Structure 1
Amino acid sequence: MNINKALLPIIVGVSILLGAGGMYAGIMIVDGNSSAPVIEQADDATAGVIGNNGGDYTISEDYIEKFTAAYELILEKYYENVEESKLLEGAISGMLDTLEDPYSVYMDENTAKEFMESLDSSFEGIGAEVSMTNGKVTIVAPFRDSPAEAAGLRPNDQIIKVDGEDIEGLSLYEAVLKIRGEKGTTVTLTINRPGVSDSLEFEVVRDTIPIETVYSDLVEENGKNIGVLEISSFSENTAERFAEELTKLEEEGIDGLIIDVRGNPGGFLQSVEDIGNLIIPGGEPVVQIENREGETVRHISNLDSKKTYEIVGLINEGSASASEILAAALKEAGGYEIVGQTTFGKGTVQQSLKMGDGSEIKLTLYKWLTSGGNFINEVGVEPTVEVKQPEFFYASPINLEETLTYDMTNENIASAQVMLQGLGYDPERTDGYFSKETENAVKEFQKAAGITVSGEIDEKTAEYLQMEIINAVQGREFDLQFNKAVELLTGQ
């Protein structure tokens, strides 16, 4: 089999990162300090032959003649002058489009350069991951504590306009170039959100986003110490940081461990394999990579002995790619409980292949399979214990065009009612009608917030309400998934 374990593909990623650096790889493997290709490329990357799986594929002379004829016809006959480079790049993009694979794309020299620059330890942007889903630029997950999260962007939001400009027809990379920008600048995103009839607008102030990927905590509950390790993405040093924090927790003495990969869009393949070596029982596969002939290579955990404490994983619809590998390994190879909701579903493997002039093609080369050999692409990893967060976690932001008052009806009122109800100010309905009960709930909230008590939802009230919701979502009091994981580990 020609899948060299030391030369596995550089990208399995679901997404690209909306930062000044451009694109962020979903799963990457490195050889030393540089990305390692799995396909041997000739020095002349414009040659018509690329070796793959031991075979050589030549282009038919008839096809070359047909392509050349079309190329020359357009150059000579089209009613306006056309740049030759644009025709060539369009032809390459067209070939990739016929694959109907959102993860196989062409990157020109500038885009490819930005792609690699984005692998730094920080970036400037809004802090969200996107993919191209059904032709729409779609949020996979906002980063923790990012401007995107603070603004209220959520997984599965579809970006349809950037600063009022329609982005339909743009490639994923072209769209990202419009969204990214310098720290302190503002970008306005127009969003279609599933279940919401009207489009939503978000003003997001770009910032520097440090890529700290491992967060640890120790929670004491019912007389037991529960360690918490949250992985926001799998960067080059994530496994090292995970090992450090896990060691600290174990030295403090833990009775159970929660591994949280909610909203984690992916990262380096080597990182998730190395983390698997720390927590998956030895001799069990962490992940399998399969080529077009159906041949697989498996990464087997080399952990000496199974952990003496139980582990619970946390997942949601924003968990993708590498985080799905880890979740599936915990579930299938470790036999551990997984709490939350079904993951994103990204099960193919890409590699960026150089074209010789600075441009690259990111091409799907493999499938990755779970520990048990399951292909989760467009399916996701199902939790063993399904838990949905409170309804207000999913409430749409309030976009005010006018003050909301008694006897009005609209979707903004419905969102406000859901938020009020979640925070304990019960309006007794969530259908969007501004009733007297809603007015009373608003007054109670305004009084508690220390703002003018009017019973109306003006800009200030909406701002305070949404700020309280963000605080509630980021805390643990209302986090039903986290609390269920603690319950499973403490037996309470």
Structure 2
Amino acid sequence: MRKMLKKTVVTAVLASTVIGLTGCGTSGVFSGTLSGKTGSSTKITYDGNLLDADVFDKTEKIESIIDNYYYNDIDDDTIREGIYKGIMESLDDPYAQYYTKEEYAKLQEDDSGEYAGIGVTVSKDEDTGYVRAVNILEGAPAEKVDIQPDDIIVQIDDHEITTDDDLDYLVSLIRGDAGTDVTLKIYRERDKAYHDVTITREIVEYSTVSSFMIDDKIGYVRITQFIDNTDELFQKAVEELKNEGMQALMIDVRSDPGGMLTTVVNICDYLLPEGTIVSIKDKTGKVVDEYKSTDDEYLDMPMVVLTNEYSASASEILTSALKEFGAATVVGKNTYGKGIVQSVIPLGDGTAIKLTTQKYFTHDDNDIHKKGVAPDIEVDLPDDYTYEDFQGKNDSQYQKGIEVLKEKLK
């Protein structure tokens, strides 16, 4: 077995690259001087294009008005944090975010596959702001209450979700110490009704890969997210299925929100012959990273990939690579269309910012952002489909995948 690539988090719906900066002054992001203080106001001068004298003069006027006329008490630190957040919110970037020390600390969860939480994978629609449950982990606390895939989460304890909320931060609110409770307000579209569910957090061992033999020739592997050890779990599952006589493989990434870039690259390297898997370009169009599969090994058998509208980011890298290499038939629905990379950049004082820094392009140099990956065979789920139908006779996408593989095996 080939040596694994070093793990690198790029982004998906739930993960981000961390770039280290040595400090504001030396990074070229900001430099300025404090030239004096009068009363409670700090006079700042800055020689730059964005934060020029006019901006500081206007800021000083606003501060003076607040000091003299605002009825309620103010907290200087809260106002400063609001200024930083405002800068990030002014960008035309739904993923841009400023993290306070407390927020950034909560985000630094290990992606090793174990955490204290409820066992729900969530995804955010950046157009509507809806946060949906897309997967319920088998055996997790969430499985014991009335929450289902496609439910919209509108409130976490006392926090009402808005379109401005960062998904990573919302995930950190759902997670917490084992033994504590979290209450989610859920809206179920097909019932047109709200209801609350209270879930006790537990230590969740998050196995992102499940597998079984569909029949004596066709194997099935589902990936629910690409975290640190998903590539190892995937390869182990496939090897076990091969030992059971597998001659064709169905890979299910429906409702997989993505995850770590190097994890999905390792899986593609295991499945595909030599070639470019994905390339990363900056805003000038320059290729800054290119990830390729080697010719050490590849899976030489018929494959199908199942997708839906919630298959995003790393899922789309896998899907596009298998499709464009001609290694698999894609069955299901057009994928989400998340082809951009976010970076979390620490600011040196315990805070951080996140913003879109790069875009990735597929094997055939396609830009899939806001477009997604189109299936080779489009299949809708039936109107009466429910969560309980998954992998069953009423799961038309799953059944079509079996049909395609059986035809390939003839």
TM more than 0.5: yes
Identity of aligned residues (%): 31
| Residue number in structure 2 paired with 1:12 | 11
| Residue number in structure 2 paired with 1:420 | none
CA distance in 2, matches of 1:178, 1:62: 39
- Equivalent position amino acid for 2:152 in 1: Q
Secondary structure of the structure 2 residue equivalent to 1:286: strand
Structure number with higher helix proportion: 1
Query: What are the within-5 Å matches in structure 2 for residues 447-466 of structure 1?
Result: none
- The structure 2 residue matched to 1:190, chosen from 180, 185, 192, is 185
Q: Deviations over 1:357-390 (max 9, x none)?
A: 1011111101112222222223322211122233
- The structure 2 residue matched to 1:367, chosen from 359, 376, 390, is 359
CA distance in 2, matches of 1:247, 1:63: 65
- The structure 1 residue matched to 2:282, chosen from 285, 291, 313, is 291
| Residue number in structure 2 paired with 1:342 | 334
CA contact (8 A) 1:349 1:368 kept: yes
| Residue number in structure 1 paired with 2:109 | 117
TM superposition score normalised by structure 1? 0.68
Secondary structure of the structure 2 residue equivalent to 1:133: coil
Query: What are the within-5 Å matches in structure 2 for residues 17-416 of structure 1?
Result: 25=15, 37=19, 41=21, 43-45=22-24, 49-50=28-29, 59-62=50-53, 65-66=56-57, 68-70=59-61, 72-73=63-64, 76-77=67-68, 78-126=70-118, 127-131=120-124, 133-134=126-127, 136-139=129-132, 141-145=134-138, 146-148=140-142, 151=145, 153=147, 157-163=151-157, 166-168=160-162, 171-172=165-166, 175-176=170-171, 178-183=173-178, 186-193=181-188, 197-220=192-215, 224-283=216-275, 285-296=276-287, 297-304=289-296, 307-394=299-386
CA contact (8 A) 2:226 2:260 kept: yes
Secondary structure of the structure 2 residue equivalent to 1:391: coil
Secondary structure of the structure 2 residue equivalent to 1:308: coil
Secondary structure of the structure 2 residue equivalent to 1:117: coil
Q: Quick one: structure 1 residues 307 and 476, their matched pair in 2 at CA, closer, same or farther if it must change by over 3 Å?
A: same
Secondary structure of the structure 2 residue equivalent to 1:171: coil
CA contact (8 A) 1:182 1:206 kept: yes
- Equivalent position amino acid for 2:361 in 1: L
CA contact (8 A) 1:281 1:334 kept: no
Q: Which moved more, 1:120-129 or 1:264-273?
A: 120-129
- Equivalent position amino acid for 1:144 in 2: L
TM superposition score normalised by structure 2? 0.81
- Equivalent position amino acid for 2:28 in 1: V
Structure number with higher strand proportion: 2
Q: Which moved more, 1:162-171 or 1:331-340?
A: 162-171
Q: Quick one: structure 1 residues 289 and 169, their matched pair in 2 at CA, closer, same or farther if it must change by over 3 Å?
A: closer
Q: Quick one: structure 1 residues 168 and 273, their matched pair in 2 at CA, closer, same or farther if it must change by over 3 Å?
A: closer
CA distance in 1, matches of 2:375, 2:144: 27
Stretches (4+) displaced over 6 A: 6-9
CA contact (8 A) 1:218 1:227 kept: yes
CA contact (8 A) 1:186 1:206 kept: yes
- Equivalent position amino acid for 2:23 in 1: D
Q: Quick one: structure 1 residues 149 and 160, their matched pair in 2 at CA, closer, same or farther if it must change by over 3 Å?
A: same
Q: Across the two proteins, how many residue pairs are aligned to each other?
A: 382
CA distance in 1, matches of 2:101, 2:404: 51
Secondary structure of the structure 2 residue equivalent to 1:379: coil
- Equivalent position amino acid for 2:403 in 1: E
CA contact (8 A) 1:9 1:351 kept: no
Q: Quick one: structure 1 residues 191 and 69, their matched pair in 2 at CA, closer, same or farther if it must change by over 3 Å?
A: same
Secondary structure of the structure 1 residue equivalent to 2:355: strand
CA distance in 2, matches of 1:86, 1:47: 26
Shift of 1:304: 4.1
Residue 476 in structure 1 maps to residue 407 in structure 2: no
CA distance in 1, matches of 2:237, 2:56: 60
- Equivalent position amino acid for 2:109 in 1: E
CA distance in 2, matches of 1:215, 1:89: 43
Q: Quick one: structure 1 residues 236 and 320, their matched pair in 2 at CA, closer, same or farther if it must change by over 3 Å?
A: same
| Residue number in structure 2 paired with 1:411 | none
Shift of 1:241: 2.2
RMSD: 3.2
Shift of 1:326: 0.4
CA contact (8 A) 2:113 2:229 kept: no
CA contact (8 A) 2:250 2:305 kept: yes
CA contact (8 A) 1:226 1:256 kept: yes
Shift of 1:156: 5.4
Q: Quick one: structure 1 residues 239 and 233, their matched pair in 2 at CA, closer, same or farther if it must change by over 3 Å?
A: same
CA contact (8 A) 1:75 1:84 kept: no
Q: Deviations over 1:81-122 (max 9, x none)?
A: 322221121112111112232211111112211211253432
Q: Which moved more, 1:66-75 or 1:286-295?
A: 66-75
Q: Deviations over 1:172-227 (max 9, x none)?
A: 3665555444445554433445566554554545443221122222232xxx5112
- Equivalent position amino acid for 1:160 in 2: V
CA distance in 2, matches of 1:50, 1:299: 29
Q: Quick one: structure 1 residues 83 and 273, their matched pair in 2 at CA, closer, same or farther if it must change by over 3 Å?
A: same
CA contact (8 A) 2:306 2:331 kept: yes
CA contact (8 A) 2:342 2:356 kept: yes
Q: Quick one: structure 1 residues 120 and 84, their matched pair in 2 at CA, closer, same or farther if it must change by over 3 Å?
A: farther
CA distance in 1, matches of 2:176, 2:318: 32
Unaligned 5+ runs, structure 1: 1-5, 16-24, 29-34, 52-56, 395-469
Shift of 1:45: 2.8
| Residue number in structure 2 paired with 1:448 | none
Secondary structure of the structure 2 residue equivalent to 1:73: helix
- Equivalent position amino acid for 1:128 in 2: T
| Residue number in structure 2 paired with 1:406 | none
- Equivalent position amino acid for 2:402 in 1: V
